[in-house]
Amino acid sequence: MITLTWPTSRDNYFANNGRDESGNIISNTNYFRMKKFISDQDSGNIITTDYLKIENDTTDPYSRIFFIDLDEDYSYQEGMPRTRQIDPFISSDKPFTIDVTLTIPGVGDEETSYFNKSRVFFSIGQNVSGVGGNIITVGTNATYDDTLRNKPVIGMITKDGYIKAIPIVNALELKYNTKYTFRLIHNPSVVGDRKLTLFLKDCTDVDNEFVLQSTAYGLSSYHNHYAVTKPRMYLYTSGWTNEYGWNNTFDYSYAIMEDNESPIQVSNGVKYPNDYIITNLSTLEYDTPQISYPTQELTLYVDSLPQGNMYVSSDFTFNFYIDDT
């Protein structure tokens, strides 16, 4: 199993500390570059490695959104001739583990409403025009009631919408000015919702352990293969426009990553926490969220044909609600 890390310092946005096929440490690689979109008046939107920010910036949060193309060939060095077919580091039919360590800063006046929008801290995948595809997200769900809104869960986004998993009972709640490590594990050899698991660790105490936060429970059978069209990893956003509360714009979240701590680590294999026993999955309990709907009081029609807008809700039952205003 190979583990690559980003970044090693404020000015180094390449992968580092991986191992090649012979087991030798990769100490000076020229691939797996962190990239971002910026706006240029002359050439429009371009991709660049300049002006990346890993610190918090509440005045221009979009300046911190960047991504890594995880389907690049981990054995290829820039400028060298290719001697074989591309060997992607991450693909959705193989196991992988992603660790992201960050701090959610105090966000001033937004602290009372910060989680009223869904927040995504990182995501895997990108919708491709004409192809569709899925995006796996790690973030919060603003449609849940207040007690669950700040509990991170696994989510899925398609070109048509989004869906979120349900948090585990005793899952951790996010607090401001607290450092956490998120660990997302994709294990295609496991059955059903256990193919995806999310762990969370509170880093304020060295003795804290990873806590199982979420499985893919609640994402529905439509997403049970959890395949992504392009395994591009976005930081601080879903990289798409379907998250709840964002009105069809790119979402973002505030966070701080620390220099020289390799806050982003990606492995092309499964790394369960040391104290985790996979048989524990058979006895999991999930919090039951209260879902928020666009209208609080709606009329249920049984024998007549309504006029107006129709809403659909699905928790564990499937109901149609009609707004006749």
How buried is residue 204: exposed, middle or buried, by Cβ count under 10 Å (0-12/13-18/19+)? exposed
- Tell me, yes or no, whether 217 and 77 share the same domain: yes
Percent residues over pLDDT 70 in the chain? 62
- Tell me, yes or no, whether 201 and 317 share the same domain: no
Q: How many domains does the chain have?
A: 2
pLDDT in tens, 115-154: 999 999 999 988 776 666 689 999 999 988 888 899 999 9
Residue 244 structure tokens: 């709840």
- Tell me, yes or no, whether 298 and 277 share the same domain: no
**Residue 288 resides in a domain:** no
Provide the whole-model pTM.
0.79
| DSSP symbols for 186-214 | E-TTS-GGGGEEEEEEETTSTT---EEEE
- Tell me, yes or no, whether 91 and 49 share the same domain: yes
Domain extent for 263: 3-282
CA distances (Å), origin 183, targets 70, 213, 303: 16, 10, 50
- Tell me, yes or no, whether 168 and 25 share the same domain: yes
- Tell me, yes or no, whether 269 and 319 share the same domain: no
**Residue 211 resides in a domain:** yes
Please say if the pLDDT value at position 223 is more than 60: no
Task: Give the residue with greater pLDDT, 238 vs 308.
Answer: 238
